[in-house]
Amino acid sequence: MVELILKGIVTGFVLSIMIGPVFFILLETSIRKGARAALVLDFGVFLSDAVYILIAFVFYSEVSSLTKGDNQHILKIVGGILFIIYGLVTFFKKPKDIKVDAIGNPVQKPGDYVMLALKGFLLNMANPLVIFYWFSVMTLGTKDAASNDPQEASILFFLGVILITFFSFDLLKIFGAKKLRPLVTDKLLIALNHLIGIVFVVFAIVLIIQGAMGV
C-alpha cells in the first residue's frame, strides 16, 4: 500500500509539471483574474479528469480497444482541429479590462465562475491525449495493485492519490502566478495571448500529424 501511495504521488507530480495547453491557460487566468478564478477553472479540469477516469475504469476493455485501435487517429485529428480554432481565437483576442475591488482584487460575477469551470472542463475534455494517459496510468495501477484484494479498490485509491497530488501542485502554480499580477500590463497580456495561441496551434498541429500518420 505504501508503494502504491508513493507511486501515486510521483505520477501526480509528473503529470502536474507536464507543460500543455491547460497549463498556460491556468497561469493566464491566475494572473489576469485572480487565484479564485483560476481555482474554478482548475476545478473544471479536475472534473473532466474524473470523468475520463470513470470512463476508463468502467469501460476498461472498450477504452483499451479505442486507444490502441484504428479510431485513435480520428480522435487526435478532431482534437487538433478544436485546438487550432481555440488557439487562433486566443491569439487574436484583445485583453478586456478586469474590474477590481477596493484592494485591487479582480471582481467576478457568479456566472463568470460557471463559464470558467465549463471552459476548464471542455478544454481538457477536447484533448484526446488525456484519455490516453489516464488509461496508461490505470494500466500501471492495475499492475501495481495486482496483488491487492480487492483490486478495484486499490486502483481507485491509486487514482485518488494521483488526483490529489495533481490538484495540490496546481494550487502552487496558481498562487505563484498570482504574485505576478502587479507586473501585468496590456502589452504583457497581448504577448501572453499570443504565446497561448501559438502553444495551442503547435500542439494541435502535432496532434493532427500524429493522427494522419497513425502514430
What Cα–Cα distance (Å) separates residue 97 from each residue in 26, 108, 182, 184, 186? 18, 12, 15, 12, 9
Tens digit of pLDDT for each residue in 132-144? 777 767 666 655 5
Identify the pLDDT of residue 118: 92
What is the Cα–Cα distance from 8 to 169, expressed in whole angstroms?
13
Is the pLDDT assigned to residue 17 strictly greater than 70? Answer: no
Check residues 66 and 33 and name the one with the higher pLDDT.
33
Between 68 and 175, whose confidence is greater? 175
Q: Which range among 51-60, 101-110, 189-198 shows the weakest confidence by mean pLDDT?
A: 101-110
More confident residue, 36 or 58: 36
Instruction: Evaluate if residue 12 carries a pLDDT over 80.
Output: no
- pLDDT average, residue stretch 70-89: 75
Per-residue model confidence (pLDDT) at position 97: 56
Nearest to 4 by CA among 163, 130, 161, 126: 161
Three cell numbers at 128?
484526446
- How high does pLDDT run on average in the chain? 75
Please tell me the pTM assigned to this model: 0.68
**Do residues 138 and 56 lie in contact, with contact meaning Cβ atoms separated by under 8 Å?**
yes
Rounded to whole angstroms, the Cα distance separating 138 from 132 reads 10
pLDDT-derived band of residue 71, with 50, 70 and 90 as boundaries? Answer: low
pLDDT beyond 80 at 112: yes
* Percent of the residues in the chain that have a pLDDT greater than 70, as a whole number: 70
* pLDDT of 98 higher than 70: no
57 within 8 A of 156, measured Cβ to Cβ = yes
DSSP string, 104-171: S-B---HHHHHHHHHHHHHHHHT-HHHHHHHHHHHHHHHHHTTTSSSHHHHHHHHHHHHHHHHHHHHH
